Structure 1
């Protein structure tokens, strides 16, 4: 997947603590929250919430037009429902999630995708949520079966999210120890889950 870098913002840098959220969605994550919640350690402590960074693009005659971006906390279908998506258009929605969807969220998203054939969904997760649970594994397979692309975030995806969703354009993204090996290991685990019957 090719990503475009974001240019510098003209507005002054704003710091905020996203809990409690002033509204859902918000436009930016603070850098501290990004590193805390998106670091791809397999079993991190204290990461109880799921953060979902989304992009919506309208696809038209080979062109891709930005519709919106934002960040949700502990929401899935809201990332669709918050957008006014016209049935007359086609859309590509991309999610970058701190955890892969739970089985209940997966069920809701699958139902949405079946009722909204004009929406294509790509999900990139930093980590796998309860990856040994058969119920959660089936949830991931059902997403793929409904036409969603399901993948683990690569180091390039983390850097892209930093550029688009983190409210600190002057700070470069810092790769943490283990980012490459964790991404590869989690990708292998997801591949095994999606291939299982």
Structure 2
């Protein structure tokens, strides 16, 4: 039997309330495939985990998945959906928190942030020194456009770590954020080559800092 391509195996489902606990398997394959410029990938998915350092050891506090919000309200990118949600949690997260402890937030994203989202994330990090952010992205969004490059540079300057997802990161996301139902992750062709290519692109951008 011929294997269906990614577009044919992707079934659009009704939007679910942010944050979601897990991602559909076909959504993960379709949206996180790390081809540099794949067609039809108009949305963005953000898998997150929040860790708190206690006695210098990371403790997992929360994890889930955000997607771009298109309806019924004004469109909202996944990064801003996360920030809106995280701000509502902070009142409880920072309560009785020792000054030397921090929250480490990790994002695994299907696209890197646009320049507008990057600006808002930078503003948030500057006002919340107790939050450290690491961004792992499957692909770079409009990476040749100067304003989008500047967005990545501003995140780097603000102390956020920005990196391209490796094959190990995709395996980790599959295990941690995908409703895989005990199925094994099947890497797509050129997953390693694409990761190296995009990593070199990102390295060249961040050299400008």
**TM-score, normalized by length of structure 1?**
0.88
Aligned length: 181
**TM-score, normalized by length of structure 2?**
0.83
Tell which structure's C-alpha radius of gyration is larger: 2
Q: Which residue of 2 aligns with 1:157?
A: 169
Aligned with 1:92: secondary structure?
Answer: strand
- The CA deviation at 1:20 is 2.8
- The CA deviation at 1:100 is 0.4
Alpha-carbon distance in 1 for matches of 2:35, 2:117:
22
- The CA deviation at 1:169 is 3.5
Return 5+ residue gaps in structure 1 as ranges: 1-16
Alpha-carbon distance in 2 for matches of 1:196, 1:147:
15
**RMSD across aligned positions (CA):** 1.3
After TM superposition, the structure 1 = structure 2 runs for residues 88-103 of structure 1, keeping only pairs within 5 Å, are 88=97, 90-103=102-115
More displaced, 18-27 or 113-122? 18-27
Matched, 1:38 2:32: yes
| 1:104 paired residue among 116, 124, 130 | 116
CA distances 1:58-103 after superposition (whole Å, capped 9, x unpaired): 1111121111111111221332332312343520000000000000
After TM superposition, the structure 1 = structure 2 runs for residues 40-119 of structure 1, keeping only pairs within 5 Å, are 40-74=34-68, 75-83=78-86, 84-85=89-90, 86-87=93-94, 88=97, 90-119=102-131
CA distances 1:146-195 after superposition (whole Å, capped 9, x unpaired): 00000000000000000001101411011110100000000000000011
